[in-house]
Chain A
């Protein structure tokens, strides 16, 4: 499938991923890219041209791909596994558990085209379960950058982090949200907009929709805080507790099932530490109908205006 052509101010985060990986690989000869016949979809063409012997393509064999990556790490290589997120996580979940997470192998798992990026290709190709599957595994930070700047920063951070992680990338165009030169900090939310009436929390392709929703709310006289929560695990408890205490209501939105993902992770913190009304937006536990990623996000109530409406309704439930 061809990727949607982003408009001039929207960027495919895969480009930032690929450029950063190539730059890091030029500096560190231990870096290898591991893939499952996914050179094109992972944008590894440039890497392959520069470091052909360091592209370990196992073919269409995801279980082996993860095991091989664990073995490469054992042998002193620094593997970035680059594959479509639904297959990387779903097909090889037990390998991720035993070979990567439980063995604590220094492997960077990069799930490309996550969420509903493969929209029209249907639910087999949607990766809307991966937060749930990955975030229950110990030793495995789960990260969904919101733009090309955060993507580059997270890819660079991963190289210096001594342990495995899961980076969840999309192919759907998103605008720049974080400032140039932003450095990724594991488990640290970014407050993108100040506000005291409600907090909107998202990551990945939803953060910019939250920013638009906040603008709509501002026109209605409602001041929404926006948190970009790229790290789903370990989660920024302090930022969530502060949001609950200071704004009294939280809306989450994610390109994922409402079960087990970002919203669930936020709700766990809220329930334990600072119960306030919440609304979790996402895919409501069904297989999505046919449509593009953008269409489906709108379909499931995550158009900016719909998010704003949900926030407004939630505010009415706040305790006086």
Chain B
């Protein structure tokens, strides 16, 4: 897809995600809105994948380490043909396979179960290491939240990726500057991320993570080290009253707010 089409797709995904969270009465809308441009670029432009063969060994691997934004992943997978779009309406309902965090044994296209933070990057390092050992040419991408980088396990994995010289690994940090309870700067500030990753032997690109052209270019970059994209994003991106508001981490819009949000996303 070209940039304009990707932007239109991201808007559709935002609208469907918003509707799903509104109807389910739960979700993590702020972090979903911040990450959707990255998911769209991955699934509709960058990832080598086969929706009808979700386990094809040659597929690129993608891990959503910030598993609490599962709804955005489900909508993206549905738009890309991994699961029926109608199924999104079952999100969080009893016995739905679409629970609040993605399950790889139930949802095609999900590679590993995430939810507890600090799990996705170590698993992605293993995926990339497997390709290095077998000679497979797939690429591994993993998205973490920025608050999630407070987890020590991520830094264990960052060290290992550099040690293993995993040039087939791209980490995207969704740097929306807010975690569940407060801003990162008021909690455990880990910014600036670039010098930390560089000190650990990674190549780092900083982008506007809600600018599709920049997202695509950064995802398609290949270097000589593991690659980290520090994606500066806005929590609640695209919906004015949610943007950069910590309370929209997992708040659910009321009817009036929902209608305003739909109108704003539709106009965009």
Binary CB contact string for chain A from 73 to 113 against chain B (1 if under 8 A, 0 otherwise): 11111010000000000000011001100111100000000
Contacts of B61 in A (CB 8 A): 74-75
Among B40-48, B86-94, B114-122, B217-225, the stretch that binds chain A is B114-122
What is the count of residue pairs linking A and B with beta-carbon distances less than 8 angstroms? Answer: 113
Known: A61-B156, A103-B105, A105-B112. A67 touches B134 (CB 8 A): no
Question: Does A63 touch B at the CB level, under 8 Å?
Answer: yes
Question: Does A297 touch B at the CB level, under 8 Å?
Answer: no
Question: Does A265 touch B at the CB level, under 8 Å?
Answer: no
Contact A68 B126 (CB under 8 A): yes
Cα separation A74 to B159 with both chains bound (whole Å): 21
Among A10-18, A52-60, A237-245, A273-281, the stretch that binds chain B is A52-60
Contact B105 A64 (CB under 8 A): no
Cα separation A76 to B111 with both chains bound (whole Å): 12
Known: A67-B153, A98-B115, A99-B112. A75 touches B122 (CB 8 A): no
Contact of A103 among B112, B127, B140 (CB under 8 A): B112
Contacts of A79 in B (CB 8 A): 126
Contact of A68 among B116, B123, B136 (CB under 8 A): B123
Nearest A residue to B120 via CB reads A67
Contact of B123 among A56, A58, A74, A104 (CB under 8 A): A74
Question: Does B4 touch A at the CB level, under 8 Å?
Answer: no
Contacts of B159 in A (CB 8 A): 59, 61
Question: Does B181 touch A at the CB level, under 8 Å?
Answer: no
Contact A58 B131 (CB under 8 A): no
Question: Does B125 touch A at the CB level, under 8 Å?
Answer: yes
Known: A64-B153, A99-B119, A99-B123. A76 touches B134 (CB 8 A): yes
Contacts of B114 in A (CB 8 A): 98
Contact A74 B125 (CB under 8 A): no
Contact B119 A98 (CB under 8 A): yes
Contact B131 A68 (CB under 8 A): no
Question: Does B1 touch A at the CB level, under 8 Å?
Answer: no
Number of interface residues of B (CB under 8 A): 36
Cα separation A95 to B249 with both chains bound (whole Å): 25
Contact of B130 among A53, A63, A71 (CB under 8 A): A71
Contacts of B105 in A (CB 8 A): 103-104
* Interface-centre pick from B105, B133, B138 (highest chain A CB count, 10 A): B133
Cα separation A204 to B185 with both chains bound (whole Å): 51
Query: Is the interface on chain A under 10, 10 to 19, 20 to 34, or 35 or more residues?
Result: 20 to 34
Contacts of B160 in A (CB 8 A): 58-59, 61, 64, 68
Contacts of B134 in A (CB 8 A): 30, 75-77
Contact B131 A75 (CB under 8 A): yes
Contact of B157 among A56, A67, A74, A77 (CB under 8 A): A67
* Interface-centre pick from A30, A59, A68, A70 (highest chain B CB count, 10 A): A68
Contact A58 B130 (CB under 8 A): no
Contact A71 B125 (CB under 8 A): yes
Contact B112 A71 (CB under 8 A): yes
Contact A53 B133 (CB under 8 A): yes
Cα separation A70 to B61 with both chains bound (whole Å): 13
Contacts of A102 in B (CB 8 A): 103, 113
- CB proximity of B165 to chain A, nearest CB, Å: 12
Contact A68 B122 (CB under 8 A): yes
Contact A74 B112 (CB under 8 A): yes
- CB proximity of B141 to chain A, nearest CB, Å: 13
Contacts of B123 in A (CB 8 A): 67-68, 70-71, 74, 99
Cα separation A66 to B153 with both chains bound (whole Å): 10
Question: Does A69 touch B at the CB level, under 8 Å?
Answer: yes
Binary CB contact string for chain A from 211 to 246 against chain B (1 if under 8 A, 0 otherwise): 000000000000000000000000000000000000
Contacts of B115 in A (CB 8 A): 98
Question: Does A72 touch B at the CB level, under 8 Å?
Answer: yes
* Interface-centre pick from A67, A77, A99, A105 (highest chain B CB count, 10 A): A67
4 closest A-B pairs (Cβ-Cβ)? Answer: A71-B126, A75-B130, A67-B122, A64-B156
> 10 interchain pairs (CB within 8 A)?
A30-B134, A59-B160, A67-B119, A67-B125, A67-B126, A75-B128, A75-B138, A76-B130, A98-B119, A104-B105
